[in-house]
Structure 1
């Protein structure tokens, strides 16, 4: 398979928003080429030698992502252009906002990413490892194998990292978990490895479902995790309710999902929502209250927030 390497020239303010849009469109990984980071590394003095010149223009950066070359590519590129313009019209400074793409072979793209992706410990226990690296876990660590050549998210983005850290405290042995908008399946895999008894991972994009299935198999949790194509939780209609529902998506979808949770979340269950940009926090909190939920805890990292919620009626008086 070939991949389209899509580049968007933009600003620091819009970078994470555009990266999130690309992930929603099915990007198989996102990288941000930020010249200001090069200057920061040079200034630390940690390199014994570097011939990299200091960047003069640090106001502009490039967000790059990889979309599969398939029948949906043209439509995805058109939606990307429309959503970048929608950000501009909504008052976000997107700068140039120029979009371009070129094609690369699957193996070329995967090799390129090996220079950037390393084993990383995300929380107290969870370690995310690319398969080409060796890593010996300590007694309490859980290793998740994720290759950027096939993953929509490896845990490096703030929204995913906050979810992984939260799962360490929320997952109980044998519990049922629904993961909405599963992308690479990393949260579903993490839940299973933390002891969940059954995990249903759903995504609207069939490419995401296929990738999640590959990662589920690669991490040897196929018996407890299933990836299904679905609009939010529609495919779970009639299934037993879950004790934990996760959704690392965007604020608008989280708000929509809140209206359906009563059908899918068990009494006393927990809803973990992430992918919420900071200027939408109040909107999500308001929607939670409208649908009878209380935000018990909120994690914030960079411009993003993750919220842990329960039904207000389930809380002790």
Structure 2
């Protein structure tokens, strides 16, 4: 068995019809690339923090509908789709150009292929992040985070994660209770724990992330001081923390700020990352209007982190 990617080039008017054809072949979902999508053209606030414009253009007038199917062979499926596309004309629909392209994208062990690109990296002043299947020689004063991100965000290679770790090193005190909002793989919770946090609460809406974070917490022997919960933002947080870190996206940070006062102690710090530079000013405005004092803003590549403090 192999995974096949099916791309159908069609007209805007046939996006829904083509999507239904792919669902009927057994696809669990479809991806639609429509350069004329109103939200994409308008870059609607809160919907698109970051995208590459060159990846949203086509060399024809229309759209591409993509699906992934697991099959021994794709020939019969393609023949069926071609016939069904032709039948759309009898309903007054024009599916042109009506081109079907396929390729094998996942081999039998595709889920492990990404591992060969994840190597140990050094972050901040003394943190080393290494995948669980690699070995690393660390210096005497270095702290090693062992992690397997699986399908959850957070391997340490992204600028937003490294920015957060640098700020945790700088602002966290060994006696701090830490809240990690949108914990993903748990990498920031682990960094805080290995740096001496008194307790850690990690929250994520994604059950896969929660499972992965718990496994990584155990892998780093921090289960005695850590609690990973599934929930929407702050809905499962029941006490304030000395340090709150959120590596998410700008729009969610803006929403989070409305309730940040309830989860951060007086004199506590808020580390907000995952902010694309184009949204930095709007996040800064929101944080400042909430009464928090912006202590520091650091940029790296196309991203930024904001450190703010709640007054005494």
How does the TM-score come out when normalised to structure 1?
A: 0.69
- Partner of 2:78 in structure 1? none
What does 1:1-317 correspond to in 2, within 5 Å?
Answer: 74=28, 85=37, 86-90=39-43, 94-97=53-56, 100=66, 102=68, 104=106, 107-110=109-112, 112-237=113-238, 239=239, 241-311=240-310, 313-314=311-312
Deviation at 1:87, TM superposition (A): 3.9
Q: Flag the 1:141–1:256 CA change in 2: closer, same or farther, 3 A.
A: same
CA contact (8 A) 2:122 2:128 kept: yes
CA contact (8 A) 1:198 1:225 kept: yes
Distance between the aligned counterparts of 1:236 and 1:153, measured in 2?
21
SS at match of 2:132: coil
**In terms of mean alpha carbon deviation, does 278-287 or 82-91 score higher?**
82-91
Distance between the aligned counterparts of 1:127 and 1:7, measured in 2?
40
Distance between the aligned counterparts of 2:249 and 2:176, measured in 1?
25
- Partner of 1:15 in structure 2? none
Structure 1 residue runs of 5 or longer lacking an equivalent are 9-72
Distance between the aligned counterparts of 1:200 and 1:242, measured in 2?
9
CA contact (8 A) 2:151 2:208 kept: no
Distance between the aligned counterparts of 2:3 and 2:28, measured in 1?
10
Query: What CA deviation, in whole Å up to 9, does each residue of 1:40-62 have, x standing for no partner?
Result: xxxxxxxxxxxxxxxxxxxxxxx
Deviation at 1:3, TM superposition (A): 12
Report which of the two structures shows the higher radius of gyration computed on alpha carbons. 2
Deviation at 1:136, TM superposition (A): 2.4
SS at match of 1:236: coil
Q: Flag the 1:119–1:106 CA change in 2: closer, same or farther, 3 A.
A: farther
Number of residues paired by the alignment?
Answer: 243
Deviation at 1:81, TM superposition (A): 6.4
Extract structure 1 runs of 4+ deviating beyond 4 A: 2-8, 80-85, 98-107
Q: Flag the 1:96–1:258 CA change in 2: closer, same or farther, 3 A.
A: closer
Q: Flag the 1:192–1:207 CA change in 2: closer, same or farther, 3 A.
A: same
CA contact (8 A) 1:109 1:149 kept: no
After superposition, the CA RMSD in angstroms is: 3.1
SS at match of 1:280: helix
SS at match of 1:135: coil
